[in-house]
Amino acid sequence: MIVEGLGGWLSKVGNFSLTLLIVTTYGLLMGAFIERIIAKVQGRIGIPYRQPFINILKNFFKRTAISHGVMFYLGPVFRIAGGIGTLAFVPVIYGDEMFSNFSMAGDLFLVIYFMFFGQLGMALGAGESGHPYSAIGIARGLSQMTAYEIPFALAVISIVIQYDTLSITQIVAAQQGGWQNWTVVTNWVATLAAMLAFLGMMGYSPFDIFLAPQEIPIGPPTEFHSAYLGLMQLNRALFGATKLVLFMNLFFGGATGWVELMIKTFLIYMVAIVIGVAFPRFRVDQGIRFFFKIPTLIGIMSIIYVQMVLTS
Amino acid sequence: MTQLTGHSSALDFAQPEPVDMASGKYVKLWQGPQHPGITGNMSLELTLDGDTIIDCKTHVGYLHRGFEKLMERRSFIQNFTVVCRIAVPEPTFNEYLYSHAVEQLSGIKIPERAIWLRTMNLELMRLASFLMWIGGMSGAFGQYTVPNWTTAYRDFVLDLFEEMTGARIYHMYIVPGGVRAGLPDGFEKRARDIMDGAEKLLDQVERVMFNNAVFKARSKGLGIITPDMIDPYGIVGPNARACGVERDIRKDEPYLAYDQLNFETITGKDSDAYERAYLRLQETRQCISLIRQCLDKAPKDGPFQADMPNVLHWKIPAGETYVKAECTRGEYGYYMVTDGSEFVRRVHVRGPSYTHAIAVMERLAVGNNIADIAGLMVSLHTYPPEIER
Amino acid sequence: MNTVDEILDYAIEQEQLAADFYEDVAQRVETAGMKKILLDFAEEEKRHKKILLAVKTGEHELTPEQEILDLKISDYLVEVKTSENISYQDALIIAMQRERAAYNLYNDMAQKVPDGKLKHILLGLAKEEAKHKLFFEAEYDERVLTDN
Amino acid sequence: MSLKDLLSPFFVWQRAFEKPYTTLRPTLDRPGAPAYRGFHINITETCVGCGSCQTICQNNAIDMVAVEAYAGRAGDSGLRPRFDYGRCCWCGLCVDICTAASLRMSNEYAWISDDPDSFHFTAGVDDKPWQDNELGYRRAEGYHLNPPKRIEMPMLSAQESLKSFAEVTLGYNEEQAKKEADRCVECGICVATCPAHMDVPDYIHSIRDGDYEKGLQLMYRTNPFPATCGRICTRRCESVCPVGILGEPVAIRWLKRFIVDQVDKKDYQRILEKPIASTGFKVAIIGAGPGGLSAAYYLRQQGHAVTVYEAQATGGGMLRYGVPSYRLPDAELDKDIDHITSIGVEIKYNSRIGKDVMFESLLENYDAVFMSTGLSVPSSMRINGENHARVLSGLQILADVASDRDPGIGKKVAVIGGGNVAMDAARVSRRLGAEVTILYRRRISDMPADEEEIHECQQEGCTIVPQAIPVEIIDADNKQKVCIKWGEAKMVDDPKGGRARPVLQEDKMHTETYDCIISAIGQSSNLDYLSKELQEQLAFEWGKLTPAEYQHTSMKKVFVGGDFANRTADAISAIEDGHHAARGINRFLNPDFYTALEKQEN
């Protein structure tokens, strides 16, 4: 029994490693593809598909010569730990034992925690650099996160109430049997709130407040370099893809195969891009005010909607 | 929202109370000299109260190449390769004004064709500069699509320059005595094609950038210049025109072929960042019309250079002159003193960025959010290289 | 003088005589420079002789078809006599006129013999002399007729 | 916030379905514009190494470096521009100023190399991939940074000039001279070409500065005949002047004349250097022509006592008797000669060596002898009838006119020859009222005379009949007349190169009658004053000799110079011979000083 349990564990770890590899690669490739789409809008040809891989490899082979202290370097490590942690509890392919990862009864809470974890690590690391711009960037990033977490949390609460479960696998299971069962149809109010939060989460215009190079150029991508920058880039692909998978699972019926996953995640991603290339960036106060207003309102409405319409 | 610490209005020039940094309430932040939100190597020393700027000081000196001094040690012809570097995005105005000053002092009269080619060259430069500026304005507020379009189109204009002058940026085309060459074969058609494309592009830009909720939210009401600030601050060009002051050297004191071109001075109402941007968009359209007029009217042949002495030991009689032209940012001037030797005694370059980026910027920045500094600065259209000649 | 060899022998002898002539004049002129020039002329004649010897052994072919430029300078110059203080101009005139005489001689002879090997040789010799004449005439044109 | 403002931005997506602005491989897909100012090309064969590119470069990115292959070429400094691409700003001024239009730019703009030294290269010499590029920046037609046309010399009109022997050229005024001086690019190629190595760029510079006294000082360093040379110099300098490759060369001769014209004769003593203290050595000079007097001047400057022996009644030699006064007025020649005598050179006129004074006695009484007796005997045509009484020598006519004698040429004359003497004889004849025909055996372009002289000659109404070979002089019916028979020539190219040769066409003969025929086909030397032994000892070859270093002959004390000792036979060469011989004589007289100096240098 113990041996069997250990064996199961080991195979789970192995399976997760494979998932990790696939999701990361997919994340990088999709990143390049999205870059090319943005480039097309901007009238350019864009980067080759291999570019994200080259960037990461190059950065990994670089060494750093300066030190800002241990926490500074732990920042990116925390960050990727957050990314891997998030993925670890998100079932990627519904109904496939191999790609269900460590999905369990309360994984939704865990995932939301992990999503926050990386950001906090980053905040500690970048804050360690001592540059005022870093502090400003972190303050901006955290305030925006707080702002979009509210509608997102409200939306999640709404679907938790709707499906009466905290397990992502079960939420996906509840949406099986056709598109009419997807949350986006059954609970479109929560989906709307979550998708607005998603815009903030992805950090494209008009919510790229914490990256804003014209305003605070000394943000994390400038402060970190060499392998640490590589870790961050890797995380961006991994974490981005994981978030998409999570959104797909929660609102768009999950995926039963890789092709379905790719199509769905890509389309979800495109929501941020379609808006991102068209608008300039909000000022930080404008951005936060935005989330506190409409999305939050919609989030509250979604709970009311769930209570009044769906569960009654 | 614009609240000036220690100042009652923009025209209050009293020394402000020093900020009590020891209180720990404030943060000092250096925006620049290496900063994507600054239009060149320049630095703004910002004192922040939270996200709000309560004091702004402009620091220059990072870009000092001493052109005015360099020119005193170079012959008159050699200088013409130096001056274009004073304002990188629009070198041609420097070339023209330098050449014009030299011609005035040495009594050279340039031929008709050179006058037209110069006018066209200056307008093409204005177009290129405005296209880049539109991109900068858009980019400063985080919209990255428009910059890609306009810089691409600027590149097409630079292609025209490349054909016409042999170089993309430092054209060195307007030489004392005239211009360096006539137009190459087929230039006119290509120029007209690009003008048509640029016109279409500007419509697109207006639709995407100016009819944009977020852009309006960011730029409206930002950095208002009132008409009574114009004279005390020496504000010129679109910045002044945007608040309704009709001031354009092309109209007021026509030079080159401007008196033969058909155009009206464009003015705005309230000079905030949006108004200034919109005014420049209209001026960009006007540029296209002027270039077309130049293409129509410029003589196709004839000399393009006046009779010149041997430039290797060219001496210019003692004298002094001030010449000016309307560049994209307003009045650009060259004050030149010669002493009869082979070298210029003194050159002073008056770039509009000096007032715009220092006095005006320092005053307008106060009370604004740190996020708006880049947009504000770009909306004033400043070029740090011309502050430090 | 009816065989090819005889003609060639005659021609070779003539060249030798010319060389002897220049050497003889060289003995009599007073300036060293002029002496050197005349000895150069003699050398030139010896070179001609060598060519003819080569013709005789068959190592060299005469080319009667070849067109040789005739500058016709010597045709209209006065006769010059050799003397102790002969000038360079005069020496050249003498040389030109000697070559012209030889050319005329071979040419005339060629007119008198029937077509065949002999005629071929005679015409070839005439052309050879024409070449020599051109050499001196070109020298005259180059050095003497500078301003003219 | 209107709905339009929310939706309108989405028009950005329109662009996504259009062709991108960018290209995949920019440097390959998009070559530079045809007139792009890219990397430099230098056609080193046409380049003369004037260095104007180096002068104009505002960044000192160009250095002129010696290139073996072009060393020692005539009219070529042997230098070629080397570019330092760490400094170059691709302004193209070097292309604009290039006098030979050899420097240009390719439209190549991308160059990657891991060898930093390869960005420092001599264009056209160091192999670069763009050297044969057809496209790139060239100087536009009609664009000049240096006026291509020279300032016209004010001259008497042809009608005016025919009336008298007054000087034809009037000289620049100050404004004209300064303008012309301005055209000089100060390359110094002329200095190397000038036989006397006059410091041309510097004295032209002194004109620009308005410091004519300095200009005069500079000229006297190498040439004591500036007034003369400023009028009649054969100016080989101008033939190599790089400004003349694309335009007209700088009028160096007229500028030289301008300087002299600005300085009054009486100021010469004050301005110019005085001789150093006497050395006690005595030097004899035979012939008061340009060679002899030049040697006399520089020897006197070195403190030696100098005596010049001259057979004629006045000095100047060929300058006085061979050059008509409408080209060189006597007063100007006197200006030069007077300064030479004013520093203490003694000239003994009417003293013919071999008759009045014996050469041997000079050898005995002087420490060194310099001979410069020139070419004074007219060459003969060696055609029949040449000794006819109405066949005159050009030289004789010029000498007669110079000495105010009537040469008696009549009303219709033929001049034979294409040199300067022929032109002078023709123009003098025109002034004497004759109708002149010039017969020349080659083409006009082959004439050895100055182009200017040929032009002026035609202006003044002389008829030039080119490709006319005189073959015989025939007695005319009248004793006062003479007939000439001449044949037309056709030009035949020399297969070995060299100039085309005229070949007489015997079927195209003409016979004309003239009042006289002036033969001007060259001169040779008259060495009658030397015994045969001496001629032999001095190694004269057909009237000429080639001296050793410093104009030294095989005789210990004897130095030679001037027309009979050089190939070029012009005034400036004679002047340099004299100067050079003066240096040689000085070394010869002070051997210890020079050996010590050389030791010091080594």
Q: Is D16 on the interface with B (CB under 8 A)?
A: no
For residue D383, the chain C residues in CB contact (below 8 A) are 76-78
Sign of CA pseudo-dihedral A38, A40, A46, A51: positive
Q: In this structure, is residue B317 part of a structural domain? A: yes
Please give the tally of structural domains in chain D: 4
Question: Among all residues of chain B, which has the CA nearest to that of D14?
Answer: B204
Average pLDDT of the segment spanning B133-145: 90
Please identify, among D248, D270, D292, the residue that sits at the C-terminal boundary of a domain: D270
Q: Is A294 on the interface with D (CB under 8 A)?
A: no
Paired with D104 in beta bridges are D41
Helix, strand or coil, per DSSP, at residue D121: strand
Candidates A76, A4, A60; CA nearest to A227 is A60
Q: Is D20 on the interface with A (CB under 8 A)?
A: yes
Give the residue numbers spanning the domain of D397: 380-521
For residue A43, the chain B residues in CB contact (below 8 A) are 148-149, 152
C1: confidence class by pLDDT, cuts 50, 70, 90: low
Same domain, D296 and D204: no
Contact between chains at D13 and A277 (C-beta distance less than 8 A)? yes
Candidates B175, B51, B169, B54; CA nearest to B103 is B175
As given in the structure block, the two tokens for residue B281 are 């968009």
Contact C31, C88 (CB under 8 A): no
* C4-143: CATH, from 3.40.50.720, 3.40.50.2300, 1.10.10.10, 1.20.1260.10: 1.20.1260.10
pLDDT of D568 reads 79
Residues in contact with B33: Cβ distance below 8 Å, sequence separation at least 6, in sequence order: B41, B42, B43, B59, B62, B63
pLDDT of D435 reads 92
Contact between chains at C72 and D421 (C-beta distance less than 8 A)? no
Contact B361, B44 (CB under 8 A): yes
Closest CB to B145 among A277, A281, A285? A277
Residues 31-60 of A with CB under 8 A from D: 37, 39-45
**DSSP one-letter string for A120-143:** HHHHHHHHHT--HHHHHHHHHHHH
Contact between chains at D33 and B159 (C-beta distance less than 8 A)? yes
Contact between chains at C147 and D535 (C-beta distance less than 8 A)? no
Q: In this structure, is residue D464 part of a structural domain? A: yes
Contact between chains at B36 and A281 (C-beta distance less than 8 A)? no
- Calculate ∠ Cα A112-A115-A117, nearest 5°: 110
Can you tell me which residue has the tokens 């997102």?
A152
Alpha helices in chain A (DSSP H): 2-41, 51-60, 70-88, 107-128, 132-163, 168-174, 183-186, 188-202, 220-223, 226-251, 258-276, 284-305
Q: Is D1 on the interface with B (CB under 8 A)?
A: yes
Please identify, among D270, D297, D325, the residue that sits at the C-terminal boundary of a domain: D270
The enclosing domain of B168 has a CATH number of 1.10.645.10
Question: Is A1's pLDDT higher than 50?
Answer: no
Closest CB to C147 among D448, D535, D543? D448
Task: Find the largest Cα–Cα distance for chain A.
Answer: 63
- With contact defined as 3+ CB pairs under 8 Å, the chains touching B are A, D
Q: What is the ipTM metric for this complex?
A: 0.82
Worst-scoring range by mean pLDDT, B30-44, B55-69, B264-278, D232-246?
A: B30-44
Contact between chains at A44 and D20 (C-beta distance less than 8 A)? yes
Residues in contact with B118: Cβ distance below 8 Å, sequence separation at least 6, in sequence order: B96, B110, B174, B179, B256
Contact D131, D38 (CB under 8 A): no
Chain centroid to CA B145: how far? 23
| Peptide linkage before A206 cis (omega within 30 of 0) | yes
Candidates A234, A213, A231; CA nearest to A222 is A213
Q: In whole angstroms, what is the distance from residue D483 CA to residue D511 CA? A: 7
Please give the tally of structural domains in chain B: 1
The enclosing domain of D336 has a CATH number of 3.50.50.60
As given in the structure block, the two tokens for residue A113 are 């925690």
Question: Among all residues of chain B, which has the CA nearest to that of A284?
Answer: B371
Closest CB to C32 among D471, D522, D536? D536
Closest CB to B37 among A41, A43, A215? A215
> Nearest 5°: phi and psi at D419?
-90, -175
Q: In this structure, is residue B2 part of a structural domain? A: no
First to last CA, chain A: 44
DSSP state for residue B212 in the 8-state scheme: -
As given in the structure block, the two tokens for residue A188 are 């479109």
Question: Among all residues of chain A, which has the CA nearest to that of B37?
Answer: A214
Helix, strand or coil, per DSSP, at residue D382: coil
Contact A208, B142 (CB under 8 A): yes
Per the prediction, chain B carries an average pLDDT of 89
Contact between chains at D15 and A42 (C-beta distance less than 8 A)? yes
The enclosing domain of D100 has a CATH number of 3.30.70.3270
Alpha carbon separation from A44 to A35, A275, B202, D493 (Å, rounded): 10, 18, 18, 65
Contact between chains at D22 and A43 (C-beta distance less than 8 A)? yes
Beta-carbon contacts below 8 Å between B and D: 123
Residues 181-220 of B with CB under 8 A from A: 208, 212-215, 217-218
pLDDT of A38 reads 93
Taking the CA of residue D176 and the nearest CA in chain C, the distance in Å comes to: 35
Q: Is D112 on the interface with B (CB under 8 A)?
A: no
pLDDT of A3 reads 56
Please give the tally of structural domains in chain A: 1
Describe the crossing of helices A258-276 and A188-202 by its angle, rounded to 10 degrees.
70
Q: Is D93 on the interface with B (CB under 8 A)?
A: yes
Taking the CA of residue D194 and the nearest CA in chain C, the distance in Å comes to: 22
Q: In whole angstroms, what is the distance from residue B361 CA to residue A203 CA? A: 30
Sign of CA pseudo-dihedral A199, A203, A208, A209: positive
Q: In whole angstroms, what is the distance from residue B352 CA to residue B237 CA? A: 8
**DSSP one-letter string for D323-364:** S-TTTS-HHHHHHHHHHHHHTT-EEETT--BTTTB-HHHHHH
- Calculate ∠ Cα B149-B154-B159, nearest 5°: 125
Contact A204, A142 (CB under 8 A): no
For residue D5, the chain A residues in CB contact (below 8 A) are none
Candidates B183, B153, B80; CA nearest to D34 is B183
pLDDT of A221 reads 67
**DSSP one-letter string for B32-50:** -SS-TTSSSS-EEEEEEET
pLDDT above 70 as % of chain B: 97
Q: Of all helices (H) and strands (E), which one includes residue C57?
A: helix C32-57
Q: Is B21 on the interface with A (CB under 8 A)?
A: no
Q: In this structure, is residue D131 part of a structural domain? A: no
Candidates A194, A169, A167, A26; CA nearest to A93 is A169
Worst-scoring range by mean pLDDT, B187-201, B301-315, D542-556?
A: D542-556
Which amino acid belongs to residue B30? Answer: W
- The residue of D541, D544, D545 whose CB has the most chain C CBs within 10 angstroms, and thus the best one to mutate to test that interface, is D541
- The residue of A38, A41, A51, A294 whose CB has the most chain D CBs within 10 angstroms, and thus the best one to mutate to test that interface, is A41
pLDDT of A115 reads 84
Contact A154, A299 (CB under 8 A): yes
Contact D308, D594 (CB under 8 A): no
Question: Among all residues of chain B, which has the CA nearest to that of D22?
Answer: B152
pLDDT of C3 reads 74
For residue C93, the chain D residues in CB contact (below 8 A) are 382
Q: In whole angstroms, what is the distance from residue D583 CA to residue D592 CA? A: 14
| Peptide linkage before B384 cis (omega within 30 of 0) | no
Q: Is D446 on the interface with C (CB under 8 A)?
A: no
Question: Is B1's pLDDT higher than 50?
Answer: no
Judging contact as 3 or more Cβ pairs under 8 Å, the answer for D and A is: yes
Candidates B95, B76, B74, B73; CA nearest to B84 is B95
- What's the pLDDT tens digit per position in B253-289? 999 999 999 999 999 988 899 999 999 999 999 999 9
pLDDT of B3 reads 44
Which amino acid belongs to residue B141? Answer: F
Task: Find the largest Cα–Cα distance for chain D.
Answer: 122
Average pLDDT of the segment spanning A31-59: 93
Give the residue numbers spanning the domain of B255: 76-351
- The residue of B150, B310, B316 whose CB has the most chain D CBs within 10 angstroms, and thus the best one to mutate to test that interface, is B310
Q: In whole angstroms, what is the distance from residue D140 CA to residue D125 CA? A: 25
For residue D234, the chain C residues in CB contact (below 8 A) are none
- With contact defined as 3+ CB pairs under 8 Å, the chains touching C are D
pLDDT of B4 reads 46
Q: In this structure, is residue B205 part of a structural domain? A: yes
Contact between chains at B148 and A42 (C-beta distance less than 8 A)? yes
Same domain, D508 and D393: yes
Candidates A159, A137, A164; CA nearest to A254 is A159
Candidates A271, A37, B205, A214; CA nearest to D9 is B205
Can you tell me which residue has the tokens 């590149």?
B155
Q: In this structure, is residue B183 part of a structural domain? A: yes
Q: In whole angstroms, what is the distance from residue A18 CA to residue B72 CA? A: 70
Contact between chains at A40 and D21 (C-beta distance less than 8 A)? no
pLDDT of C2 reads 65
As given in the structure block, the two tokens for residue D229 are 């040379």
pLDDT of D383 reads 85
Alpha carbon separation from B53 to B304, B354, B367, D212 (Å, rounded): 53, 21, 5, 69
Paired with B337 in beta bridges are B320, B346
pLDDT of D102 reads 93
Q: In this structure, is residue B84 part of a structural domain? A: yes
Q: In this structure, is residue B377 part of a structural domain? A: no
pLDDT of D497 reads 66
Same domain, D182 and D193: yes
Which amino acid belongs to residue B21? Answer: M
Contact B32, B39 (CB under 8 A): no
Paired with A104 in beta bridges are none
Q: In whole angstroms, what is the distance from residue A64 CA to residue D257 CA? A: 75
- Calculate ∠ Cα C118-C120-C125, nearest 5°: 95
Alpha helices in chain B (DSSP H): 67-72, 76-82, 91-106, 112-140, 145-165, 187-205, 213-219, 230-233, 237-241, 249-252, 273-297, 353-354, 361-365, 373-380, 384-387
Residues 265-324 of B with CB under 8 A from A: none
**Residues of chain D predicted below pLDDT 50:** none
- With contact defined as 3+ CB pairs under 8 Å, the chains touching A are B, D
Please identify, among D270, D302, D320, the residue that sits at the C-terminal boundary of a domain: D270
Q: In whole angstroms, what is the distance from residue D88 CA to residue D106 CA? A: 14
Q: Is D145 on the interface with B (CB under 8 A)?
A: yes
Residues in contact with B22: Cβ distance below 8 Å, sequence separation at least 6, in sequence order: none
Question: Is B176's pLDDT higher than 60?
Answer: yes
Q: Is D5 on the interface with A (CB under 8 A)?
A: no
For residue A40, the chain D residues in CB contact (below 8 A) are 15-16, 20
Chain centroid to CA D172: how far? 19
Q: Of all helices (H) and strands (E), which one includes residue D63?
A: strand D62-66
Contact between chains at D18 and A43 (C-beta distance less than 8 A)? yes
Contact between chains at D35 and B181 (C-beta distance less than 8 A)? yes
As given in the structure block, the two tokens for residue D323 are 């050059």
Question: Is B371's pLDDT higher than 50?
Answer: yes
Radius of gyration of chain A (CA): 19
DSSP state for residue C78 in the 8-state scheme: P
Question: Is A272's pLDDT higher than 90?
Answer: yes
As given in the structure block, the two tokens for residue A181 are 């069962």
Q: In this structure, is residue B85 part of a structural domain? A: yes
